Structure 1
Amino acid sequence: MNRLLRNVIEATIRTGNLLVTSPDGAVHHFGDKTGAPVHVWIKTRRAERAIALDPALQLGEAFIQGNLDFLEGDVLALLRLVYANSARSDSATGKSLNALRTLFKRFQQLNNERRSRENVHHHYDLSGELYRLFLDDDMQYSCAYFEHPGMTLEEAQAAKKRHIAAKLDLKPGQSVLDIGSGWGGMGLYLAREFGVHVLGVTLSTEQHAVSTERAHEQGLQNDVHFELRDYRSLSERFDRIVSVGMFEHVGVNHYKTFFETVAALLKPGGVMVLHSIGRNGPPYATNPFIRKYIFPGGYIPSLSEVLPHIERAALMVNDIEILRHHYADTLMHWRERFMANRDKAKAIYDERFCRMWEFYLSGSESAFRWQDMMVFQIQITKRNDVLPVTRDYMLEAERAAPLPLLSASIAPPRKRPRKRADSIED
């Protein structure tokens, strides 16, 4: 085994039961041999060296290239073992690379309008058939809300929409802007159940086409309109603004512009709810595997990076809620569904793509379950007299609001050309 890799693993894994088969066929044991074994086979010396020098990126790359496989356990089991030992993890080289990535994170997030479209196209314009393999019936691709034990993914995603609607304090006839409207589920729910008029904006051509179809299929085309448009180009003013799962793609360089735009678009008595992935800890760089293969230009902020920009835009924070394990459970459902439909995903793309997404979903679940990832919902206004002075109205509204009808789920779209797997970055 590569000596540097051995030193890295020995410094990291003190508890647990890790076995590594090296390219020469030798089996090496690490940890105190407690718990279920995780057995990794590294097939090439090049992969050994790469993982030793930059495990945050190269572990995933070795897996998707087929240079690393599991003889026992899987990606999630390995990451759980690593994070259980995380107080001892990070070699000197790893710490230096992380510090360098943090230093240069702003250069990785220069998300002007052209680059934002390219970043969205990279991930969200994949085949809709792929997303249908693991998402709920409404195609909600953001954190669900598991308000009760044992909820299905469909129930928890419906509860998420109702939870956010309660915080918006909606009134019939109001105008609502949905920034990053996805496949249209949130906008359609708000219009159908609360009698509001919704404009949804997205940069994904696939999502725009599907959401527009859905509005016509449900007879809501006069109440919900979806546009293929950057939020920065809007000039209308709205009673309510909602943004779910889009802020992660804004980039720290553009927070000032984002909240100044929100302030310009929100009416004086308006309310915004921002739902985003966040970090319970100090600012850090985007995971290099996620940045290269999954979400180029993406960034997970700490609240300390977000709140100052809200204040400087003359907006007011009325409420902040932290959702802790909800996204871990959401990702668990997605991962299990994806793995159950892996052969179908492989038929759409290929084996390499399936390995990439297995690593992505497993790594994301582990980050929310065992690291410092969370989801925050921030309620924002321009005045302090817009909403009731206690939070009781949210609970009352949530209890009174209807759950989105599961029967109103998304219908299979018309066939569109799928994005080729070889368009994924190498």
Structure 2
Amino acid sequence: MWDRAFDLMLRRLLQKGSLQVTLPNGQRLHYGDGSGVLLHVELHNVATVRHLVLNPELALGEAYMNGTLTITEGDLHSFLGLIVKNYRNAPGVWWQRLLPRLRIALRRFTQNNVALRARRNVAHHYDLSDTLYDLFLDPDRQYSCGYFRDPNDTLEQAQTNKKYHIARKLMIEPGMGVLDIGCGWGGMARTLAQDFGAQVLGITLSQQQYAYASETADREGLADRVDFQLCDYRDVTGTFDRIVSVGMFEHVGLPHYHAYFQSIHDRLSPDGIALVHTIGWTGPPDATNPWIAKYIFPGGYIPTMSEVMQSVETSHLWTADVEVWRLHYAETLRHWSERFAANEDKVRALYDDRFVRMWRFYLAACEQTFRHGRQAVFQFQLTRRIDAVPLTRDYLYQPQTAK
């Protein structure tokens, strides 16, 4: 029964490419039109087949991380790329149609990231070993999309490009007060302080990030210009000339979009500028992938532009500029995957084989979704006044002026 259902599911899904699957009973099945490189996957028990049939979006990642699905010809990136490319136009099978609809219907419950839940969600991912992140991120620990002005840019150069591009959009001047919502390990805050002379308050809910950011600012002599606090965006007081938020909006949750943008409005000076940098979904609204939600980013969600703008419009903010970055995150993730692969023995020593497979799958799946799916990066430049920024984008491409 399960073998027949599995066969039907894959025949509906895989119209292009070449995939061979060996079932637990030794039977070999072939899918696709024969194009491209042949990939071979082995499934090692009936429970995995059953789980893939009933809940493939969750089961695929679990099977790989648990070792009950192995790739014997080809590699993980090629396999996931094949799945993502075919998934866009696949008709699907009737018994899998209810679960995605249910996930969409429950989004406002699963993403109700009140302060306590938000802290738990952040700790799940960001309060892992500091050493782990040093093994695949750049030295500044930029854990968001780089900006590849040139395809040959290194990861370090792309992350510097990103920070300076955002600084240009913020039109930072010495002495300005800046709020960095979801400051991560403090790299953006330190750049705005050191290179542009800003006074920065960075807030995070991660104990590990807070400790690292504070210690690094002290070590680099920036403690008088950068302050880091363990604080929820809803609890910030005062006003700021500039507000920046990079890679944090994905953790806000649909029910809190209005509160988030209202906070930006209330904390931004009348002639201020805010920049929100977030992963975005370029298709109709969807639910978070269940494997990502369970193992990587609980409470996370990739918004569509329409979902973002609905809340911006009711927060009395001007949308001064919107920019869409295509494939930049795919390239960023390629660099992260390569660095992670080169250091897997060290990651294994920190955790175990299952953790290595889980993060290998996470990085590869995200790269292939950015490369072949509907994910991109949105940058929203927001103001309270219609004339707070120049009328054209020319100022973004003038020679860089730091402090």
Structure 1: give runs of 5+ residues left out of the alignment.
404-426
User: Which residue of the partner structure matches residue 400 of structure 2?
Assistant: 400
User: Which residue of the partner structure matches residue 29 of structure 2?
Assistant: 28
SS in 2 for 1:164: helix
The answer on whether the counterparts of 1:162 and 1:402 sit within 8 Å (CA) in structure 2 is: no
User: Which residue of the partner structure matches residue 67 of structure 1?
Assistant: 68
Aligned 1:245-284 pairs, distance under 5 A: 245-284=247-286
User: Which residue of the partner structure matches residue 407 of structure 1?
Assistant: none
The answer on whether the counterparts of 1:56 and 1:289 sit within 8 Å (CA) in structure 2 is: yes
User: Which residue of the partner structure matches residue 95 of structure 1?
Assistant: 97
TM-score of the pair, normalised by structure 1: 0.92
The answer on whether the counterparts of 2:15 and 2:31 sit within 8 Å (CA) in structure 1 is: yes
The answer on whether the counterparts of 1:294 and 1:360 sit within 8 Å (CA) in structure 2 is: yes
User: Which residue of the partner structure matches residue 129 of structure 2?
Assistant: 127
Q: Give the drift of 1:402.
A: 5.7
Q: 2:401 & 2:349 partners in 1: Cα distance? A: 41
Q: Give the drift of 1:89.
A: 4.7
User: Which residue of the partner structure matches residue 367 of structure 1?
Assistant: 369
Q: 2:376 & 2:163 partners in 1: Cα distance? A: 18
Please give the per-residue CA displacement for 1:146-193, whole angstroms capped at 9, x wherever unaligned. Answer: 011200000000100000000001111110000000111000000001
Q: Give the drift of 1:84.
A: 2.8
Runs of 4+ in structure 1 over 3 Å off: none
User: Which residue of the partner structure matches residue 178 of structure 2?
Assistant: 176
User: Which residue of the partner structure matches residue 85 of structure 2?
Assistant: 84
User: Which residue of the partner structure matches residue 380 of structure 1?
Assistant: 382
- In the superposition, relative to structure 1, how do residues 197 and 72 fare at CA in structure 2: closer, same or farther (>3 Å)? same
| Cα RMSD after superposing both structures | 1.2
Aligned 1:297-316 pairs, distance under 5 A: 297-316=299-318
User: Which residue of the partner structure matches residue 198 of structure 1?
Assistant: 200
Residues 1:319 and 2:321 are matched in the alignment: yes
Please give the per-residue CA displacement for 1:262-306, whole angstroms capped at 9, x wherever unaligned. Answer: 111001011000000001111110011100100000000001001
User: Which residue of the partner structure matches residue 412 of structure 1?
Assistant: none
The answer on whether the counterparts of 2:85 and 2:373 sit within 8 Å (CA) in structure 1 is: no
User: Which residue of the partner structure matches residue 53 of structure 1?
Assistant: 54
SS in 1 for 2:97: helix
Structure 2 residue identity aligned to 1:185: G
TM-score of the pair, normalised by structure 2: 0.98
Q: 2:159 & 2:211 partners in 1: Cα distance? A: 22
The answer on whether the counterparts of 1:279 and 1:372 sit within 8 Å (CA) in structure 2 is: yes
Q: 2:227 & 2:95 partners in 1: Cα distance? A: 51
Please give the per-residue CA displacement for 1:81-129, whole angstroms capped at 9, x wherever unaligned. Answer: 1233231253222232111111111111010100000000000000010
Percent identical: 49
Please give the per-residue CA displacement for 1:342-394, whole angstroms capped at 9, x wherever unaligned. Answer: 11101000011111111111110111000100000000000112122111112
Structure 2 residue identity aligned to 1:117: R
The answer on whether the counterparts of 1:279 and 1:303 sit within 8 Å (CA) in structure 2 is: yes
Q: 2:238 & 2:171 partners in 1: Cα distance? A: 20
